Amino acid sequence: QVQLVESGGGSVQAGGSLRLACTASRNIFSVNSMGWHRQVPGKQRELVATIAGAADTRYADSVKGRFTISRASAKNTIYLQMNSLKPEDTAVYYCLFGTDYGTYWGQGTQVTVSS
């Protein structure tokens, strides 16, 4: 069973930065895309950023210019660099790997931004 393990969450003041990482417990084949979502209690999970192939990246409008998604050369790790954080970025962040056989999700990591 593949597990995605996230790290790097925490608490930061507005304007600060955090870097999230997500590593798969083993190599995953037929990966089509990888990405990050986030969820606030009482609201639907929303897309934050995705990466497909070497560098085909897409971002939610709310994070464009502040967040950067990237992948390690080993291809089983992705990152989310979050700069200029705002209180409204506070959420549980989940990574995902989409494959031909299904989608794998991480357990989530809390990001809290205080004003």
Look at residue 96 in the predicted model and tell me its pLDDT: 96
pLDDT 10s digits, 23-55: 998 888 888 899 999 999 999 999 999 999 878
Q: For residues 101 and 91, give the distance between their C-alpha atoms in angstroms, rounded to a whole number.
A: 28
pLDDT 10s digits, 70-100: 998 776 899 999 999 999 999 999 999 999 8
Q: What is the mean pLDDT of residues 62-67?
A: 98
Q: What is the mean pLDDT of residues 53-67?
A: 94
Q: For residues 90 and 106, give the distance between their C-alpha atoms in angstroms, rounded to a whole number.
A: 18
Look at residue 68 in the predicted model and tell me its pLDDT: 97
